[in-house]
Amino acid sequence: MTAHLRLAAASADLDRAATQSNGAVAETSGLSCDDPAALDAAVAAATQDFSDARTSAKAAHRPLGVLVSAKRHEAKTEIEQSRTALKALRTQLKDADGKEQVKAARAAIRDEHRDIAHARNLLDSKREVLREVKADRAAARAALASARTHLAEVQAFQDACTDPEPPTAA
> CB 116: neighbour CB atoms within 10 A?
19
Among 68, 151, 79, 145, which residue's Cα sits nearest to residue 118? 79
pLDDT for 89 beyond 70? yes
Is residue 143 domain-resident? yes
Is residue 107 domain-resident? yes
Range of the domain at 149: 1-163
- The pLDDT score that the predictor gives to residue 7 is 37
- What's the domain count of the chain? 1
Is residue 152 domain-resident? yes
Is residue 168 domain-resident? no
Which amino acid is present at 37?
A: A
- The pLDDT score that the predictor gives to residue 48 is 95
pLDDT for 136 beyond 70? yes
